[in-house]
Amino acid sequence: MITIRSSQERGVAKIDWLFSRHTFSFGHYHDPKFMGFSDLRVINEDQVQPKQGFGTHSHQDMEIISYVLEGALQHKDSIGTGSIIRPGDVQRMSAGTGISHSEFNASATDLVHFLQIWILPAITGIEPSYEQKAFNAEEKKGKLLLVGSADGREGSITIHQDVNFYASLLSKAEIVSHILGTNRVAWLQVASGKVLLNNLQLSAGDGAAITEESLIILEGNSPSTEVLLFEMVA
């Protein structure tokens, strides 16, 4: 079964420096039908104006992933991390017992456009930690590249949950496939372009819950498509 979450049906938050679309309930946006999916709790698509951003705020017991699509995101936190996150980078912050951080557009002139993803951890109360790795476009072209996993295998970031997180860049008519094991489900998020998911069309911003399927077939349906795939426990 594939259930499409249309981009235009997502929640919206809009202020002078921020435009955000919420796939699941978040902040002032609440929809009891969309509280998350498996261990995936938040997918926010944020666009932040130059020199603006989220001031210092705190989190606890959450795996928080930032995936930048355009521009550069500046991160600072209470465990001493300071970094710039750019397209191709995957950043994971484990809030654990508690962490404070800020996220700002690192540019004085250009928009930053990124996905903020929250995953519920398998174990609460862990030591807060931070990890960031770069995956170039060539690594993702025409394949589902593992960029996050519970054990950090194949050079992926470590996520403290039984989840396999893949990223892919597809050209027109290019096909990749993924087998879903027993008692596994998946969520597909289209970051840009258009894709056919088991012959169902999705466009940028669309998501899809994939359950009771043994095979996922993705076919690029635009000159360039970027997708994220999260495979999790049913």
In angstroms, the Cα distances linking 208 to 25, 37, 71, 160, 198 are: 16, 10, 26, 23, 11
At 197, which amino acid appears?
A: L
| Residue 5 belongs to some domain of the structure | no
Give domain status of residue 67, yes or no. Answer: yes
Residue 50: inside a domain: yes
Distance CA 147, CA 228 (A): 10
On whether both 90 and 148 belong to a single domain, the answer is: no
Residues pairing with 74 in the sheet: 84, 104
Within a domain: 155: yes
Strand order in the sheet with 163-170: 2-5, 207-210, 184-192, 225-233, 163-170, 145-149, 157-158
| Judgement on whether residues 120 and 154 belong to the same structural domain of the protein | no
72 and 129 fall within a common domain: yes
* H-state helical runs in 91-215: 137-140
> What are φ and ψ of residue 98, in 5° steps?
145, 130
pLDDT on residue 2? 98
Q: Are both 16 and 116 inside the same structural domain?
A: yes
| Count of Cβ atoms closer than 10 Å to residue 17 Cβ | 14
For residues 129 and 162, state if they share a domain. no
**Predicted local distance difference test score (pLDDT) of residue 44:** 98
| Shared-domain flag, residues 16 and 113 | yes
Kindly state whether residues 114 and 27 are assigned to the same domain: yes
C-alpha dihedral, 41 to 192 to 13 to 78, nearest 10°: 60
- Residue 19 pLDDT: 98
Which residue, 135, 167, 194, sits at the end of a domain? 135
Q: Is residue 222 part of a domain?
A: yes
Pair (122, 205) in one structural domain? no
Q: How many domains does the chain have?
A: 2
Which letter does DSSP use for residue 121 in this model?
-
Question: Does 112 share its domain with 190?
Answer: no
* The pLDDT of residue 79: 95
176 lies in the same domain as 211: yes
- Tens-level pLDDT at each residue, the chain (234 residues): 999 999 999 999 999 999 999 999 999 999 999 999 999 999 999 999 999 999 999 999 999 999 999 999 999 999 999 999 999 999 999 999 999 999 999 999 999 999 999 999 999 999 999 999 999 999 999 999 999 999 999 999 999 999 999 999 999 999 999 999 899 999 999 999 999 999 999 999 999 999 999 999 999 999 999 999 999 999
Q: Is there a domain that residue 2 lies in?
A: no
Residue where a domain terminates, one of 78, 113, 135: 135
Does residue 71 belong to any structural domain of this protein? yes
One domain for residues 19 and 108? yes
CATH number, domain at 189? 2.60.120.10
Q: Kindly state whether residue 226 falls inside one of the protein's structural domains.
A: yes
Whether the predicted model's global pTM rises above the 0.75 cut: yes
User: Domain boundary residue among 114, 135, 156?
Assistant: 135
Domain coverage including residue 39: 10-135
